[in-house]
Amino acid sequence: MFDWVHGVPILSLICFLPLAGALVVMFALRDPATIRRFAFGVALIDFLLSLPLWFTFDAQGPLFQFKEGLDWIPSIGVRYEMGIDGIALLLVLLTTLLGTLAFLSSWSAIREREKEYYTFLLLLQTGMLGVFCALDFFLFYVFWEVMLVPMYFLIGIWGGPRRLYASIKFFLYTLVGSVLMLLGILALYFWNGRGLFGWTGAGNPLSFSIEQFHRIGPSIPADLQFWIFLAFFVGFAIKVPMFPFHTWLPDAHVEAPTAGSVILAGVLLKMGTYGFVRFSLPILPEATRRLVPWMIGLSVIAILYGALCAMAQRDMKKLVAYSSVSHLGFVTLGIFALNGPGLSGGVLQMINHGLSTGALFLLVGVLYERRHTRQIADFGGLSAVMPRYATIFLIITLASIGVPTLNGFVGEFTILIGAFSRSWLWAIAATLGIVLGAAYMLWMFQRVFFGPVSHEENRKLPDLSGRELVYLLPIVALCFWIGLYPKPFFRILEKPVAFLVENAERAAPVANPDAVLGR
Amino acid sequence: MPFPSAISLRDVALIGPELLLGAAGLLLLVAGAIGKGLTQKDAARVAGFSLALGAAVLFEVRSVVGAIPARLFGGSLVLDGYAFFWQLLALASVGLVVLMSSRGLESIASRASEYFALLLIATSALMLMVAALDLLTLWIALETMALSSYILAGIFTRERRSNEAAIKYFVLGALSSAILLYGISLLYGATGTLTLEGLAGAMPAALTQGSRLAPLGGLLVAAGLFFKIAAAPFHFWVPDVYVGAPTPITAFLASASKLASFAVLGRVFLVAFGGVQVEWQPVIAGVAVVSMIWGNVGALTQSNVKRLLAYSSIAHAGYLLIGVLAASETGLWAAMFYAAAYAFMTIGAFSVVALWSRGTYAAESCSDYAGLGRRSPYLAASMLIFLIGLTGIPPTGGFFGKVFLFAAAVEAGWTWVAVVGVLTSALSLYFYFRIVVFLYFTPAAEPATGGETSSAPAISAASIGIGLCAALTLALGIFPGPLIDLIKQSLLAMR
C-alpha cells in the first residue's frame, strides 16, 4: 500500500492550506455566503487532512515524525524543518478541530466585514499550526509572531466595546515577551556555535535546529542556562499566562468575538505551555530544576488566584477567562513537577482545557448571540427554556470541574499524582483549587439555569439549532472519550514524556536535590 | 597627501554613473529655464530614465571592476562591493521617490524640472559619498548632497512650513557640516593624513601617544555624521524638517540621504577608526540607545503621521548603529540588510501619505486615515505591511533586519543594547499600530461621497511605487537569503 502520509509533506499541507484559503478569500471571493462556506470548507478539509496523523503516528517510533526539511536561509543556518512528536500531534489535532468548530460558530455571529474576518481566521490557523509543527527554532519564532497580527485584528475589529484597548494590550504584552525570547534563542544559537560572552561554545555549525538544541542543551553552563531560561520564561509565561503576567487575558477574552475567544483559550494559551515542554525543559534542564520552586509557586498562586477571581465575576465570559488562568496553573504545575505523571497529565490537561474551555466560550457565545448580554444576573431558569443547551452546558461544566468519567478528571488526577510524589503541600494547594473550581462553576450554573425564569425576555429563547449542536457535540464526545478511555492519549504521550523526564534528570547533579525540590 | 599627477581617463569612465546623473541634473535645470520649461510629468520621466540608465551603467562598471576594489583619483574614491551596494540602494530609493513625486507637486508645477534636477544632483553626490576614501572628498560630496536637500526641503516657496523646514535644516545642517570639517582638520593636524586608510594606520599610534587632537577630531567627525543620519541627541531638526518638507523629499531624507550618510559613518568608523574600536564603541552604544529610546518614546504621542515617522526614523538610526557598534562582519551585513528593508518600508509609508493627501499638506493627521481599509483596501494593506515591517514583525524584511542586528549585538557581547533594542521595538508597536487602528478599526469620519475611491486613481506612478515597496518588504521577509548572499559577497572584497 502506498504510504501516502509519509510520501507527501503532510505537515506543510496542513499548515499552509489555510494560508492558501486566506489568499483565495482575499483576492477571489466576494459574496459573504460563499466566503463563509468556503472558509469552513478549508478548515474542515484541514481537519480531515490532520486525522491521518493520529492513525499513522507510531507511538513506539522515533520522537519526531513526519519530518520535512528544506534550506531556508542557508547563510545563517535557518532551515524550514517540520516534524511532530506526540505532544505536538495532539495540539495539531486540537487546533484543526477547534478551528473548524470556530468557523462554524462564526456563521451567524459575524455579519460584517466577513471577507476580512475569514481571511484573518485562516491566517491565524496557519500561524498556530506552524508553531506546533516547526522543528527549527527560528521558524517557530516566525510563526509565533506572525500569529499575533490576525489575532489582534480579530479582537480589534469584531470585538466588544473595549476592543481597542484589549487588542493592543494583548499584542503589546505578547510582543514584549516574544522579543525577549528571541534574545534567548540567539544566545542559544551562538553558544551552539563558537560561544558567547566568554563561554566557550559547543563548536557546532550554526543552526537553529530544535533537535540539535535538545542534544547540546544539558551541556550549557548553568549560569547561561539561567539567563536563557529567564528570557524564554517571559515569553512563555505571558502566553500561558502565568500569575503575574495574566492581566491581558481577561481583557482579550472578554472583548474577543466568540471564535476568537475559543481559539485564544483553546490553542493560543497552549503555545506557552508547549514552549515550556518543547524548549525550557529539555534544553535547559539545570536551570529548570533550580527554578522549580518558583515555577510551582507561581502555578499554585495562579490556580488559587484565578479561581478566587473567577468566583467574583458577574460576566460569564470573564468568569471563564479567569478559570483559564486557574486551569493553566494546573498545567504548569504538572509540567514543573518534572515527573512522568505530572508531565503527561499536564500535556493531557492542555488538550482537556482546550476542549472544555473552548466549549464554554462557544456556549456563552450561543447565549450572547440570542440575548446580547453575558451578565449572569440577566439569566436564571434557563434549563426549562433551553433543555438541550442546559444539558450540554452541564456536561462541559462537569468536565471543567474534573468530575470522573469526563476528561478534566483524568488530567487533574494525573497532575495531582505527579505533584504529590514531589510534595504533598503542592498537591493540597492544588486540590483546594479544584474545590474552588467546582464552587464557581456550579454556582454560575445554578444562577443561570436553575430557579424560576427571572427575566421575561428569556422565556422565548430558542434552544440549540442543528448547526450549534454540530459544533458542540464533537467536543462533548471527546470529553467522554478522554474521560472514559484515555489510554490512546497516554500511549502517544509516553515517548515524549519519557524523553522529557530523562532529560530533566540528565546533566550535572544538583548539590542538594532535596533542598531544591522542597522535600 | 599624494595628489594624482594626471587624471586618468579610466578613472573618469568608472565614475560614469555619477557623471551621468550630474549631467542629467544640469540638463534638466537648463531645460527648465528655456521657454515654458518641462511639465512635471516630462521632468519626472527624464529623471526616472536617467536613474535607470545610471543603474545600468553602474552594473557595467561593477562588471568591469570585478571583485577587486578599484581605487580612483589617487585613492580618493574606491569602487568596492560596499560602495556598490549603497550606490544601488541610493538609486533604488531615489527611483521610488521619483515615482511618488508624480503627485502633490502641483503648486510648483512650473519649477518641476528644478525639483528633479536637484534630486538627480543629490543622487550623484550620494553615490560619490559612499565611495569616498578620503575625508575631504567625503565632505565635498556630503555638502553637495546637503545643499540640494536644503533647497528641496524648501521648494514649496509659498508654504510657511516648507520655508521653516528649509531654514532650520540649512542652519543646523551648515553647523553640523562645519563641525564635521573642523573635526577633519583636527584629525589632519593630529595624524597628517586625510585618507581613511592612512588614518587607520595613524590613529592607534596617535592615541597611545596621548594626543588630544585625535580623539577630539574623531568625536567631532562622529557628531557631524550623527547629525546627518538623524541619531539622537543630534536629531532636533528632524521632526520639523520632516513635517515641513514635501512628502517625497521627506522620504528622500529618511531613506537615501540618511542611509548614504550611515554608509559613510560605517566606513569611517570601521576603516579609519577600525583599530581603536574599544575607544568609540561606548559612544556608539550610547548614541544608539538614546536614539532608540528617544525616537520611540517621542513617537508615542504624535498624531501627525509625518512627525510620527520622523521620530521613528530617529529610532531606526539607532537600530542601524547597532551594526556599527558590533564592529563585526555580522554587524555590517546586518546593518546593510536592515538599511535595504528600512528604505523600502519608509519610502512605502511616505508614499502612502503622499498618495492619500489630496492637497499639499493634507492627510497628515492619523485620523485622516480613518476607514482607508474600506475605501482603498490595497493602499491600506500596503500601509499595514510597512507598519508591520517598521515594528519588526514577520513576515517582513524589517523583522529579519532587526533579528540580524540584535544577533550581531548579542554575538559581540553588547546584550544590554540588544535588550534595549527589542524592548523599544515592542514599544514602537503602540504608535505604529495607532495608524492601523485608524486604517481598519475606525469608520471614515465623513461619509464617502458617491464615488468611493475618487481620490486615489486606480493605477498611478505612485501606486506602482507603493506596490513595489510592499512586494519588496514582503519578499525580504520571506526569502531574505538572496539579499544576504549579495551583501556577503560584496563585503568579501571590502578588506
Q: Which of residues 315-344 of A touch B (CB under 8 A)?
A: none
Chain A residues close to B394, C-beta within 8 Å = 142, 145-146
Per-residue confidence of chain A (519 residues) as pLDDT tens digits? 344 555 678 888 999 999 999 999 988 888 888 898 999 999 999 999 999 888 888 888 888 888 888 888 888 888 898 999 999 999 999 999 999 999 888 888 778 888 889 999 999 999 999 999 999 999 999 999 999 999 999 998 888 888 889 999 999 999 999 999 999 999 889 888 777 776 766 777 888 989 888 888 788 888 888 999 999 999 999 998 888 888 899 899 888 888 889 999 889 999 999 999 999 988 998 888 889 889 999 999 999 999 999 999 988 999 999 999 999 999 999 999 888 888 999 999 999 999 999 999 999 998 888 888 888 888 888 888 888 899 999 999 999 988 888 988 999 999 999 888 888 888 888 889 899 999 999 999 998 888 888 888 888 888 888 888 888 999 999 999 999 998 989 988 888 898 888 887 765 434 344 433 433
CA–CA separation, B452 and B438 (whole Å) = 17
Q: Is A180 on the interface with B (CB under 8 A)?
A: yes
pLDDT value for A163: 87
Tell me the average confidence (pLDDT) per consecutive run of 10 residues in chain B, 495 residues long. Answer: 64 88 92 80 89 92 83 86 92 93 75 89 94 92 93 86 90 93 92 88 84 88 92 89 90 93 92 85 93 93 90 94 90 93 94 75 74 84 93 92 92 91 93 89 61 52 89 93 88 65
Nearest 10 degrees: Cα torsion A191, A196, A198, A201: 20
- Residue at B258: amino acid letter: K
Q: What angle do CA A169, B306, B86 make, to 5 degrees?
A: 100
Residue length, chain B?
495
- Kindly list the residues from chain B whose CB atom is less than 8 angstroms away from the CB atom of residue A196: 410-411, 413
Please list, in sequence order, all residues whose beta carbon lies within 8 angstroms of the beta carbon of residue B34, skipping any fewer than 6 positions away: none
Judging by DSSP bridges, how do beta strands B77-79 and A195-196 pair with one another? Answer: unpaired
Q: What are phi and psi of B273, to 5 degrees?
A: -100, 20
CB contact under 8 A, B394 and A142: yes
3-state secondary structure of A315: strand
Q: Mutate which of A183, A208, A238 to test chain B, going by most B C-beta atoms within 10 A? A: A183
Contact residues, chain B, for A149 at CB < 8 Å: 388, 393
CA distance A186 to chain B (A): 6
Residues counted in chain A:
519
CA B382 to CA A460: how far, in whole Å?
A: 48
**pLDDT recorded at residue B453:** 43
Contact B423 A145 (CB under 8 A): no
Say if residues A287 and A188 touch (Cβ distance below 8 Å): no
Are A146 and B388 within 8 A, CB to CB? no
Identify the H or E element spanning A66.
strand A65-73
With an 8 Å Cβ cutoff, is A185 touching chain B? no
> Measuring CA to CA, which residue among A295, A179, A286, A289 is closest to residue A225?
A286
* E strand or H helix that includes residue B78: strand B77-79
A75 touching B (Cβ < 8 Å): yes
Alpha carbons B62 and B126: distance in angstroms, whole number:
17
Nearest neighbour of B393 by CB, restricted to A72, A148, A197: A148
Question: Chain B residue with minimal CA distance to A181?
Answer: B422
Q: Which residue of A has its CA nearest to B482?
A: A73
Inter-chain contacts counted by CB atoms under 8 A, chains A and B: 83
Residue A390 near residue A449 (C-beta atoms within 8 A): yes
Question: Read out DSSP for B365-415?
Answer: BGGGGTTHHHH-HHHHHHHHHHHHHHHT-SSSHHHHHHHHHHHHHHHTT-H
Tell me the chain A residues in contact with residue B399 when contact means C-beta distances shorter than 8 Å: 142, 145
Q: In whole angstroms, give the CA distance from residue A264 to residue A151.
A: 8
Closest to A201 (Cα-Cα) out of A188, A214, A192? A192
CA diameter of chain A: 73
CA atoms within 13 A on the CB side of B399: 26
pLDDT of residue B214: 87
Residue of A157, A168, A187 with shortest CB distance to B410: A187
C-alpha to C-alpha distance for A519 and A510, rounded to whole angstroms: 14
Cell of A15: 499548515
In chain A, which residues have their Cβ closer than 8 Å to the Cβ of B425?
Answer: 179
Asked whether the beta carbons of residue A75 and residue B485 sit closer than 8 angstroms, the reply is yes
Measured CA to CA, the distance from residue A228 to residue A223 in angstroms comes to 9
Residues of A in Cβ contact (< 8 Å) with B415: 183, 187, 197
Closest CB from A146, A157, A183 relative to B440:
A157
Is the Cα dihedral B279, B280, B283, B289 positive or negative?
A: negative
Give the integer Cα–Cα distance in Å for A375 and A363. 14
> A146 vs chain B: nearest CA distance in angstroms?
6
Yes or no, beta carbons of B430 and A168 under 8 Å apart: yes
Contact A184/B at CB under 8 A: no
- Quote the CA–CA distance of B12 and A51 in Å, as a whole number: 69
Contact list in B for residue A152 (CB cut-off 8 A) is 433
Contact call for residues B76 and B137 (beta carbons, < 8 A): yes
The predicted pLDDT at position A220 comes to 84
Contact B481 A197 (CB under 8 A): no
For residue B458, the model assigns a pLDDT of: 55
Q: Please name the residue of chain B whose CA is at the shortest distance from the CA of residue A176.
A: B426
pLDDT score of A510: 41
Question: Closest Cα to residue A243, out of A165, A155, A333?
Answer: A333
Residues of A in contact with B410 (CB under 8 A): 183, 186-187, 190, 196
**Which residues of chain B are at the A interface, by a Cβ-Cβ cutoff of 8 Å?**
373, 388, 393-395, 399, 403-404, 406-407, 410-411, 413, 415, 418-419, 422-423, 425-426, 429-430, 433, 437, 440-441, 480-481, 484-485, 488
Q: Name residues 213-242 of chain A within 8 A of B (Cβ).
A: none
